[in-house]
Amino acid sequence: MTDHLDNVEDIRLKRLANLLRDVDPAELNALLRKDSAIQMRVTEADKDDIKVTAKGLGLTVTDYLLRCHYIVSKRLSEES
């Protein structure tokens, strides 16, 4: 099963590399650079749950929360 997932990931990365081939490196860096922070207050239990969930998905907490945001944002824009 892991080999299949690795192959799928390889295909996705190759596709991404192909799509980004002609993008100016400075522009790409500006798009990907995280240069701002948000601080939020949560319970210790919520903090632990978020960390465990992110880790279980192989993501950092930042990437996990951003992906959740992107999904909700996209769905909200589709409703309007």
What average pLDDT does the chain have?
88
Residue 61 has a pLDDT of: 96
Containing structural domain, residue 72: 38-80
Domain co-membership, 60 together with 29:
no
Please report the pLDDT score of residue 2 as a whole number. 62
Cα diameter, the chain: 45
Q: Classify burial at 50, counting beta carbons within 10 Å of its beta carbon; exposed 0-12, middle 13-18, buried 19 or more.
A: middle
Report whether pLDDT(1) > 80: no
Q: Are residues 29 and 44 in the same domain?
A: no
Are residues 42 and 78 located together in one domain of the fold? Answer: yes
Could you report the per-residue pLDDT of 8-27, keeping only the tens digit for each?
778 888 888 888 888 888 88
Please tell me whether residues 47 and 77 are part of one structural domain: yes
pLDDT digits (tens, 9 = 90+) for 25-67: 888 888 778 889 999 999 999 999 999 999 999 999 999 999 9
Greater model confidence, 76 or 4: 76
